[in-house]
């Protein structure tokens, strides 16, 4: 199977500090790859490298065969990779409908006049409705983002990424700050929506091991910037050494946070 997204020997230093070293990963169509590891392991650095936000100091990052090192998330979204951020892109005073419309328009930019009321554009409105209903937000279109619940804000963030019609989607802790019951709802929504929307691969940074075990097709564990394991969930959780090195520490962290 050919890779949609891959890194070959990727390294990243911050000054003398080595945050990533010799990371080689390959993500193919149909995969949901979770990136796990303790605090400071390099997960966010890796996601930043994968989305072209950060240039690796060694190695190559390829998306659909092309080198994307440092091209930035906007150019990358145009090529078919979108990233859901942790709420930072949600403007509190914008409505749900407007938020999704911004993403739809940036994708389907078709010479709309800057001064035209884009919400009146029928095709944009139809697409906003479609995306909102995939995530159960169709009744909230007029609601300002600041009035949404925490879980709904997460869904709006992910919905905006979906509106970009990506082939690959990156989710950085999509369920943080959401109750356990809602976490599963969000993940199920994301996985179902991905199938409907033709998303080919999902990369997930997640601390909740239940979610990781249930939804991943593959798990990549990082420790101190290196890949400790890269395996399907059954093998991953079936290996006592990995469980001790990764899951044990994660559970410890979760217990501390609770």
Which residues contribute to the site for ligand ATP (CB under 6 A)? 14, 17, 19, 37, 39-45
What whole-number distance in Å separates Cα of residue 59 and Cα of residue 194? 30
Tell me the closest approach of the beta carbon of residue 20 to ligand ATP, in angstroms: 8
Q: Which is nearer to ligand ATP, 33 or 96 (CB)?
A: 33
Partner interacting with residue 19 (select from ligand ATP, Mg ion, none; CB below 5-8 Å by kind): ligand ATP
Neighbour count for residue 110 (Cβ, 10 Å): 8
Shortest Cβ 34–ligand ATP spacing (Å):
13
Q: What angle do CA 258, 172, 76 make, to 5 degrees?
A: 170
Nearer to Mg ion by Cβ, of 44 and 57: the residue is: 44
Binding to Mg ion by CB under 5 A, coded x per residue (else -) over 29-48, reads --------------xx----
42 binds, among Mg ion, ligand ATP, none (CB under 5 to 8 A by kind): ligand ATP
Phi, psi angles (nearest 5°) of residue 51 = -100, 15
Instruction: Report residue 65 as tokens.
Output: 């065969």
Termini Cα distance of the chain: 41
Measured CA to CA, the distance from residue 130 to residue 152 in angstroms comes to 16
The least CB distance from residue 44 to Mg ion, in Å, is 3
Closest residue to Mg ion, based on beta-carbon distance: 44
45 binds, among ligand ATP, Mg ion, none (CB under 5 to 8 A by kind): ligand ATP
176 binds Mg ion (CB under 5 A): no
The option from ligand ATP, Mg ion, none interacting with 194 (CB < 5 to 8 A, set by class) reads none
Instruction: Answer whether 51's CB lies under 8 Å from 76's CB.
Output: yes
Tokens 């390959």 found at: 26
Q: Min. distance of Cβ 56 from ligand ATP in angstroms?
A: 13
DSSP letter for 144, please. B
> Strands 58-63, 66-67: parallel, antiparallel or unpaired by DSSP?
antiparallel
Minimum distance of Mg ion from residue 47's CB (angstroms): 8
Distance CA 151, CA 91 (A): 16
């Amino acid at each position: 199977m050919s890779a949609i997204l891959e890194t070959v020997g990727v390294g990243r230093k911050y000054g003398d500090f080595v945050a990533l070293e010799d990371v080689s990963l390959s993500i193919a169509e149909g995969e949901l790859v979770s990136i796990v590891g303790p605090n400071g392991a390099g997960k966010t650095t890796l996601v930043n490298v994968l989305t072209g936000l950060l240039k690796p100091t060694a190695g190559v990052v390829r998306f659909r065969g092309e080198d994307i090192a440092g091209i930035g998330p906007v150019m990358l979204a145009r090529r078919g990779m979108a990233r859901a951020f942790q709420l930072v892109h949600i403007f509190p005073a914008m409505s749900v409908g407007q938020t999704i419309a911004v993403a739809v328009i940036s994708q389907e930019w078709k010479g709309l006049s800057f001064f035209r009321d884009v919400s009146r554009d029928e095709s944009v409105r139809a697409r906003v409705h479609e995306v909102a209903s995939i995530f159960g937000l169709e009744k909230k279109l007029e609601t300002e983002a600041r009035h949404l619940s925490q879980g709904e804000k997460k869904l709006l963030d992910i919905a905006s990424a979906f509106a970009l019609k990506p082939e690959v989607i990156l989710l950085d802790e999509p369920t943080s700050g959401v109750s356990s019951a809602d976490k599963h709802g969000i993940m199920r929504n994301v996985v179902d929506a991905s199938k409907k929307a033709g998303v080919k691969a999902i990369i997930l940074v997640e601390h909740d091991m239940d979610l990781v075990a249930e939804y991943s097709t593959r798990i990549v564990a990082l420790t101190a910037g290196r890949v400790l394991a890269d395996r399907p969930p059954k093998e991953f959780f079936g290996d006592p050494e990995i469980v001790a090195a990764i899951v044990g520490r994660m559970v410890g962290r979760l217990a501390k946070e609770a």
